[in-house]
Amino acid sequence: MTPAHGDSGRAGLDLLMPMHLHVAADGRVVHAGPTLQRIAGDRPIAGCALFDLVEFRRPRGVADMDSLRRCAGRALVLHWRGPCRTQFKGVAVPAAGQGDSDGGLLVNLSFGIALVDAIRDHDLKAGDFAPTDLAVEMLYVLEAKATILDEWRKLNGRLHSARIAAEQQAYTDTLTGLGNRRAMDHVLGGLVADGQAFGLVHLDLDFFKAVNDTLGHAAGDHVLRVAAQAMAGVTRAEDTLVRAGGDEFLLILPGQVDGTRLRELSERLIARLEQPIPFEGETCRISGSAGIAVSHGGDMTVPVILARADEALYAAKAAGRGRAVEYGALHAARAVAEAAVSGTPAPGAAGAA
């Protein structure tokens, strides 16, 4: 029995196929399942021309009832006309044999892969689907999968944050917040491996031991933190500041290879360090000595440039502390002195920095 044969038959089809259309031979919709009517909203479906309601995409060329009849039993893909443009999969079968012998069709539709979007767009509930339709169960599976994926993303985000925090902690000096020796090895190794030019300042705090001996380690820790702030105040965001141990620091300055500018930067830093540092009613006084070396990009290994900066630092301390010495200038001065003693011309010191 078809919808044409009474309300009970129509109710049965509505229950079994809530997304069906009964279409007369002339293309007029005789009846629409309740879910389709809900999708259409206030616009009545019964009495409308089928091809005013939907647009057939596959098979191509379905534009009238004759062509639709020829596609009976084949998979159909169609779009609901209107703002929503919901996509359907469907199949058409002759209504003949069920009380409709004039060439009418039953067209049953489903959402296919557009199920999730359709449920969201039309606020569909479980009752909008046939009791045997797996759409609701599939929706539950999709929702469960989405929940699991969301929890997985959150967990992955927490793990990623924890890994970053652990890496930062591994590369950070806990007292000053500057990099530690591991950070120094990582940054210098990367610069040398990439052939990047950079300047290196090896800084040692003068008179720091006297602060520790007279005012205690708490005062010494305070001085180290103030010194770290002073270094941050004269450097750029792309520079790396390292506490190499005790009262020794390294300033790694990518792209900065001008010896004069490096010396001026070091002198500004030393001037800041020489300002009195208050601590619990006492005054801490320190200074700094700096050794400067330059790599022009892949021209020396990490141990070599560290040794050059250390040698320049030793010369700064030997010259009276509170000053900055460039390895290049130091090397050139030594060459001149040796030439004067030997009576031979001094070799050019170009590139010695």
Q: How confident is the model at residue 299 (pLDDT cuts 50, 70, 90)?
A: confident
The sign of the torsion formed by the CA atoms of 160, 163, 169, 172 equals negative
For the stretch 79-115, pLDDT in tens is: 888 766 788 999 999 986 545 557 899 999 998 877 8
Q: How confident is the model at residue 296 (pLDDT cuts 50, 70, 90)?
A: very high
For the stretch 233-267, pLDDT in tens is: 999 999 999 999 999 999 999 999 999 999 999 99
Q: What percent of the chain has pLDDT over 90?
A: 61
| Cα–Cα distance, 241 to 235 (Å, whole number) | 9
Read off the amino acid at residue 313.
L
Mean of pLDDT values over 128-152: 78
Q: Is the pLDDT of residue 39 over 70?
A: yes
